Amino acid sequence: MPKIKCIGVLTSGGDAPGMNAAIRAVTRTALYNNIKVIGIKRGYQGMINANYKQLRSHNVSHIIQTGGTILKTARCQKFRTVEGRKTAYNQLKKHGIDAVVVIGGDGSFKGARKFSEEYNIPFVGIPGTIDNDLFGSDYTIGFDTALNTIVEAVDKIRDTASAHNRLFFIEVMGRDVGFLALRSGIACGAEGILIPEVKTHTKNLKAFLEEGNKRKKSSNIFIVAEGDDAGGAFEIAEKVKDDFKDYDVRVTVLGHIQRGGSPTAFDRVMASRLGYAAVEAIMDDQKSIMVGIVNNKIAHTPFNQTIKYQKDINRSLLKMSFVLAM
């Protein structure tokens, strides 16, 4: 393959804290290697619309600590169509972009894989999503920051829950996976963790609470992943309300607060490593892969596998959380 002279970089799908640190790392690594960098705004939509801006070193100054994404992000229906991807290809060619780094989740990688099947422009992915649901990386950019945001919020709720002997159902993000719920539940000493991967039997919740009462618990917190099979926090609270007449039940949905904020040091370091690795992979003629970190080492995983395989939660942690919450 001819030498890469110009790389495009974009953020796609849901935003995640640490995306800016990844953009910075991609930009600075490429410039160091005398490769021009084009920032593509608003994900695949911007690729189609040629919403491009050259990135120089100063354009990515002081963004390592900021949440959101300077390139904006979007979901784009047009990129799902043959014509949409053709327009995107023509625009990339017209602007001399030889390769693209996509920072996003599995949907973004599906799009990248599709494009790579049709056109000969290498795409390399960086896992950027608070959900941590990508096979091929132990953690995804944004997960640690979202986790810490949840922990801070739940700690505050615990104070008021204890003061009033209340039972709280706290909903966290996780439409299909319970990584955030599981980790935050452990970190906050939650009495219960309800996640999509494990069937929730609402009838069992009361017996569990009664056990806790015998041990003089002054408050109870259940962390609920939004995609739990029994429903979100409001739905579950509604289901158990007749059973829980003696409890003062409250519901909190943490919502979009989980997506924002300054990335943690962990996310900044990971984003820096992955941005650097993505450009190295492109220079090494790699394509249709996601760079990730497995056992603290950079790992390359083909898009096909990232998309096909489900990353499972560590079920032994769920059992442990149950024991520790007694």
Q: Which is nearer to ligand ATP, 131 or 144 (CB)?
A: 131
168 or 303: whose CB is closer to ligand ATP? 303
Which residue's CB is nearer to ligand ATP, number 23 or number 188? 23
- Nearest-approach distance from CB 97 to ligand ATP, in angstroms: 17
Q: How far apart are CA 130 and CA 55, in angstroms?
A: 26
CB of 150 to ligand ATP, least distance (A): 17
131 is catalytic: yes
Q: Note whether 79 binds ligand ATP by CB under 6 A.
A: yes
Return the range that interacts with ligand ATP (CB under 6 A); candidates 10-18, 27-35, 189-197, 244-252.
10-18
Q: What is the dihedral of CA 54, 56, 60, 62, to 10 degrees?
A: -140
**Active-site choice (98, 131, 144, 228):** 131
Is residue 205 within a helix (H) or strand (E), and if so which, with residue range?
Answer: helix 202-214
Least distance from C-beta 126 to ligand ATP, angstroms? 11
* Least CB distance to ligand ATP at residue 289 (A): 16
Q: Report how far residue 131's alpha carbon sits from residue 129's, in angstroms, rounded to the nearest whole number.
A: 5
Order of strands, sheet of 220-225, starting from the edge strand that comes earlier in the sequence:
192-194, 220-225, 166-172, 248-253
Q: Closest Cα to residue 108, out of 90, 92, 91, 129?
A: 129
CA–CA distance, 147 with 205 (Å, rounded to integer) = 24
The interface region with ligand ATP, picked from 75-83, 208-216, 283-291, 295-303 by CB under 6 A, is 75-83
Binding residue for ligand ATP (CB under 6 A) from 11, 12, 286, 306?
Answer: 12
Residue 271 CA to residue 292 CA, distance in Å, equals 10
Give the integer Cα–Cα distance in Å for 91 and 97: 9
Residues 93-152 within binding reach of ligand ATP (CB under 6 A): 104-108, 110-111, 114, 129, 131
Please say which residue, 129 or 264, places its beta carbon nearer to ligand ATP: 129
Part of the chain binding ligand ATP (CB under 6 A), chosen from 11-19, 20-28, 144-152, 208-216: 11-19
Work out how close the CB of 201 gets to ligand ATP at its nearest, in angstroms, rounded to a whole number.
Answer: 29
Q: Which residue is nearest to ligand ATP (CB)?
A: 107
Query: In terms of CB distance, is 46 or 232 closer to ligand ATP?
Result: 46
Residues 6+ apart with CB under 8 A from 275: 21, 22, 23, 24, 25, 26, 27, 29, 101, 126
Comparing CA positions, the residue from 323, 133, 292 lying closest to residue 215 is 323
- Residues linked to residue 223 through DSSP beta bridges, in sequence order: 170, 193
Helix (H) or strand (E) holding 309: none
Residue matched to tokens 């002081």: 62
- Taking CB under 6 A as the criterion, the residue among 13, 18, 122, 127 binding ligand ATP is 13
Distance CA 263, CA 271 (A): 10
Residue located via tokens 């690795």: 277
# residues contacting ligand ATP (CB under 6 A): 18
Q: Does 86 bind ligand ATP (CB under 6 A)?
A: no
Q: Say if CB 222 and CB 168 are below 8 A apart.
A: yes
Say if strands 289-294 and 123-127 run parallel, antiparallel, or are unpaired. Answer: parallel
Of 17-46, binders to ligand ATP (CB under 6 A) are 44
Of 47 and 153, the one with the shorter C-beta distance to ligand ATP is 47
Q: Which one, 79 or 222, has the nearer CB to ligand ATP?
A: 79
Site residues for ligand ATP per CB under 6 A: 12-14, 44, 75-76, 79-80, 104-108, 110-111, 114, 129, 131
Catalytic residue annotation: 131
